[in-house]
Amino acid sequence: MGDTALILLAVALVIGPLTVLWQRKAPFVRWQRAFGVWFALMATIYGYLVWDGWARWSVRRLLGFEDLSKMSVEQMILTDPGFGLANLIGIVALFWALILAAISSDRPVHALGQRQWKHVQRYAYVVFYLVSPHAGYFLFLHYELSLHSLVSQTEVPDLNWFRFWFLAIAALIFTLQ
């Protein structure tokens, strides 16, 4: 779900520079707003699934703390500090994405004015700069051997197939911007 959201964001961000490079703007520009809104929707669903399934409605678990009472440890222990930081970055990105999605219609364009609305919508790049370290952490670091995987006695999974596509997408967006 997170991969899908990232791809939708990338498509929305690539459309703008491509229309400058390729003068036939009409076919792509009308879809840019829709890709951005779909990104926000997918990111919201992804955030809910993480909150419900992984963090299990616990802020401390969302921040990387684990209950180790089975191992005779009385308090929650920070087993995965990167997990918490990556999730906080993801929450900030989701917050900005929801603001941008909320003003992605004609009414806010008229209320803010075209120039101010475009300025605010350029914060989609800020969302991408927040999503990149969030995704990078989960694609390259989180599933490596760690204290968390040792404590939870989980196997380190195979490499995620999306990790190199992520690097290509990030390089493309940085280059086109």
10-29 confidence digits (pLDDT tens) = 999 998 888 877 776 657 77
pTM here is 0.86
Helix (H, G, I), strand (E, B) or coil at 134: helix
Q: What is the pLDDT of residue 35?
A: 95
Looking up tokens 């990030």, which residue turns up? Answer: 170
Q: What is the pLDDT of residue 135?
A: 94
Looking up tokens 């299990």, which residue turns up? Answer: 56
Closest CA relative to residue 81, chosen from 63, 59, 67: 63
| DSSP string for 141-162 | ITTSS-HHHHHTT-PPPPPPTT
Q: What is the pLDDT of residue 11?
A: 94
Q: What is the pLDDT of residue 149?
A: 59
Q: What is the pLDDT of residue 157?
A: 65
As given in the structure block, the two tokens for residue 26 are 């009409």
**Segments of the chain scoring below 70 in pLDDT:** 24-26, 144-157
Q: What is the pLDDT of residue 68?
A: 73
| CA dihedral (127, 3, 91, 142) positive or negative | negative
Give the whole-angstrom CA distance, residue 90 versus residue 85: 9
Instruction: Give the phi and the psi of residue 65 in degrees, each rounded to 5.
Output: -90, 145
Residues β-bridged to residue 175? none
Q: What is the pLDDT of residue 146?
A: 59
Give the whole-angstrom CA distance, residue 17 versus residue 55: 37
| CA dihedral (51, 45, 98, 19) positive or negative | positive
